[in-house]
Amino acid sequence: MTDHALLLVNLGSPASTEVADVRSYLNQFLMDPYVVDLPWPLRRLLVSLILIRRPVQSAHAYASIWWPEGSPLIVLSKRLQEAMKGQWTQGPVELAMRYGEPSLDTVLTRLAGQGITQVTLAPLYPQFADSTTTTVIEEAKRVVRERKLPIRFSILPPFFQDPDYIEALADSARPYLEKDFDHLLLSFHGLPERHLRKLDATNHCLRGPDCCRTASPEVLATCYRAQCMRSAEAFATRMGLRPEQWSVSFQSRLGRDKWIEPYTEARLDELAAQGVKKLLVMCPAFVADCIETLEEIGDRGREQFVEAGGESLELVPCLNDHPSWVAALKRLCERAPQSV
C-alpha cells in the first residue's frame, strides 16, 4: 500500500426518503453558490421559497426509485468504488459526495489521518460545469486548506470526448442499440444559459445554431453544451448511427430562467408526433443512475412519451459499474495531471 489514494466524487443523495432528510439535502445543494449563482441574500430567499413545497414533491420522487439498499446513486457509486479497488494499486480507493454523506470533509480528513499525502480527485462528471466539476474541486481544496491537511491533488479533468469514455459508453449501450428501435435520444442534464455565458471570455458561446460544432478550443474548455454535443457526436460516430437515428436534448430544468435547449420534455412530444414509436433514451452526463435518470426519464418521461402517442421508452442504464467503464476510469485517473 502506497500513499496515493483515489477519491471518487459524485453529486450525492438525501440520507433517506423522509421529507426532513430531503429538505436538508436540497438546502445544502441549492445554497451552493456554484449551483444557484445569486448573491447570498437573494439565494437564501429563493431557496427558502423552494423549500416550502419542493421537499415533499422530491421525497415522493425519491421514494418511487429507492432501493432496499438505499439511494441508487449511492449504491451504484459504492459498487464502482469496490470495482476500482481491484484496478487502483497505488493506495486506497475512497468515495465522497459533494452533498450529503460521505462528505469530502470526512473522507479527506480520514485519508490524511492514514498518512495519505497524494490524492487523485476524480469528479465523476464527463462534461465540465461550475455546478459540478468546479464545486467539487473548490470544496476539496477548502477542506485541505482549512483543516491544514498535508494532501496534494491530481485532478481528473472533464473527459467528454476521451476515447476511453466513448468506448465505455459504446460497450455499455451496445446491447440496447442492437434491439429494434426507432430513435435514440441523448438526454443531458440542463443548465441555465447564464452559467455558460459568464465563463465565456470570447463572447461566442451560444451564438447561433452551429456554435457548439464550431466552438474554438477556448470556448470548448468551459462550454458545457458544446462538450455535451461533442460527447453525443463521438458516441454516434462510434456506434455508426445515421443523423436521423439520434438527437440531443437537455433535462431537469428548475425555475424560470432560460436554460440550454432543446428541452427533453418538448423533444419527447416532438418525437412522438413525428411517428417515433420505440424510443431509447441515454443520459451521458451521468455515470451512475439516479433520480434524474430512473424517475425523471424512466418513469415520468416514459409516461409522457406514451401519452403523446409513442409505444415504448426504454432507458439505457448509465455506465454504473460496467467493466468497460471501470477499466476506462482507471486509465483516465492514471493520466490525471498534478494540480498546481
As annotated, the binding site for Fe(2+) includes: 189, 292
Q: For the chain, what's the residue count?
A: 340
Q: Measure the CA–CA gap between 206 and 202, rounded to whole angstroms.
A: 11
List Cβ neighbours of 293 (8 Å cut-off, separation of 6 or more): 283, 286, 315, 318
Give CA separation, 112 vs 104, 134, 138, 149, 227, in Å: 12, 22, 18, 6, 34
231: cell is: 460527447
In angstroms, the Cα distances linking 86 to 23, 111, 201 are 36, 19, 42
- Tell me how far apart the alpha carbons of residues 240 and 237 are, in angstroms, rounded to a whole number: 5
Q: What is the largest CA-CA distance in the chain?
A: 60
Contact 268/281 with Cβ under 8 angstroms? no
Grid cell digits, residue 334 = 492514471
* 75 CB neighbour count, 10 Å cutoff: 17
**Spatial separation of the C-alpha atoms in residues 271 and 290, rounded to whole Å:** 24
Q: What are phi and psi of 15, to 5 degrees?
A: -70, -25
**Cβ 311 vs Cβ 302: under 8 Å:** no
Is the CA virtual torsion 11, 159, 335, 200 positive or negative?
negative
Q: What is the DSSP letter of 42?
A: H
- Binding site members: 189, 292
Strands of 174-244 (E only): list them: 183-189
